Structure 1
Amino acid sequence: MPEYTNTQKKILEIGKKEFLKKGFKDASLRGIVKEAGFTQGAFYGYYPDKVSLFEALVSEAADGLMEQFKAAQDAHFDLIPGDKAAQSRNLSTEYLECFINYIYDNFDAFKLVVCCADGTRYAGYIHDLVELDVAQTERYHAELEKHGKLEGHVGRKLHHMITSAYFTAVFETVAHDMSREEAVEYVRELASFFNSGWEGLLRLK
């Protein structure tokens, strides 16, 4: 966690409030500076533009989740040598609960990403997660097929649509301001629903 000066903390606090209220596109840098009580010169001493301020608020949490997700995807491959591929869906559900708690530990950052990021590189964040998941899962399925541990097949278009629906549904917890307790129960039910669907299409051995 970076160390911030009091001035920087105030800029971040006011900036977050402005972005949450208006979204990135409509947020006013001049308004942020004015409410913070600083000159624009003081602001530019910390952030060169509105984009960098937004990224300072979200990048650590959003990039951290992406890295955790990549590690979780890799962990599935470790199930194959131990003949534990059938546990893959349970593993996914366990990781999902870890992810939702991480999201709620950084709720404001993910609220900005999910609801306020249009016009920034985080506008496609959910899509990026979907693309990563589809690519990694296809690699995993190919490895399972090679070892005779997978029955059934799903085409890429359907795979992408299902995964997109899943991730969109997961982040509805943030969009609708669910409590952490509601969110955890919701994603458990969501995982159960989607796991049943995947089991109907692909049977793991």
Structure 2
Amino acid sequence: MPKDKTLSHIKVNKAIKEEFLEKGFEAASIRGIGARAGMTSAGLYRHYTSKEAMFSAMVDPLINDIKEWTRKHTEKKQKMLDGDFDEEELFDESFVDLINMVILPKRDEFKLLMTCSRGTKYENFIRDYVSDGQMIFHDAIKRMREKRCIDKEIEEEELHVLFSAYITACFEIIMYDCNGDKIEKYLNTLHDFFMPGWSKMMGFN
């Protein structure tokens, strides 16, 4: 946590973000951040205790928001699976909404997480997120198939490939330097492409 909450903290955070986005965590330096912020290394340490703490301060709020959205999304879908619902209701919210609601407002921080985190505890974030999400999704598909009395099972490796492709494709779009309208178009394309497949695996058609 920052030790100093003066106005200079805003300038420090701006310098940190610029340095990491330009050089990545490993190549970024305290001296480089200090030069951008117009202060000495000692001055920076009044705000953060280390380079690792600086990077964490940039990405932790986004990660917490992603986890919270995912938690609420999972609880919502589980309640639907336990009750009566129609297909449109089940698929009315997807990871496209995660992109729009959580990630796009923190696009720079997401780029830090995806492309600049090598050498930090966050460098495997996408792999870990896919792994956690795959287990949740596997449970949902299993429950839905049992409810609809469908015998054919999807193998773990098969689901991993599909789920990884879906999440990676959704996240990849944010890496492109394009405007909001084009991002929305790409996300809608992904939604239209993947949702019929998920629907079929759950036994709707």
- TM-score normalised by structure 2 residue count: 0.88
What is residue 42 of structure 1 aligned with on the other side?
43
SS class of match (1:204): coil
SS class of match (2:91): helix
Contact 2:26/2:118 (8 A) holds in 1: yes
Does the C-alpha gap of structure 1 residues 187 and 73 become closer, same or farther in structure 2, counting only changes over 3 Å? same
Q: Give unmatched runs, 5+ long, in structure 2.
A: none
Does the C-alpha gap of structure 1 residues 114 and 167 become closer, same or farther in structure 2, counting only changes over 3 Å? same
Using the alignment, how far apart are the partners of 2:144 and 2:129 within structure 1? Answer: 22
Q: Indicate the RMSD between aligned Cα atoms, in angstroms.
A: 2.3
- TM-score normalised by structure 1 residue count: 0.88
Q: Give unmatched runs, 5+ long, in structure 1.
A: none
Whether 1:188 aligns to 2:197 is no
Does the C-alpha gap of structure 1 residues 189 and 200 become closer, same or farther in structure 2, counting only changes over 3 Å? same
Instruction: Tell me the CA shift for residue 191 of structure 1.
Output: 1.5
1:89-108 correspondence to structure 2 within 5 Å: 90-93=91-94, 96-108=96-108
What is residue 168 of structure 2 aligned with on the other side?
168
SS class of match (1:38): coil
Contact 1:19/1:27 (8 A) holds in 2: yes
SS class of match (1:79): helix
Using the alignment, how far apart are the partners of 2:151 and 2:199 within structure 1? Answer: 10
Instruction: Tell me the CA shift for residue 141 of structure 1.
Output: 2.3
The sequence identity of aligned pairs, in percent, is 27
Does the C-alpha gap of structure 1 residues 131 and 85 become closer, same or farther in structure 2, counting only changes over 3 Å? farther
Using the alignment, how far apart are the partners of 1:182 and 1:103 within structure 2? Answer: 16
Q: Aligned AA for 2:53? A: S
Using the alignment, how far apart are the partners of 1:152 and 1:178 within structure 2? Answer: 41
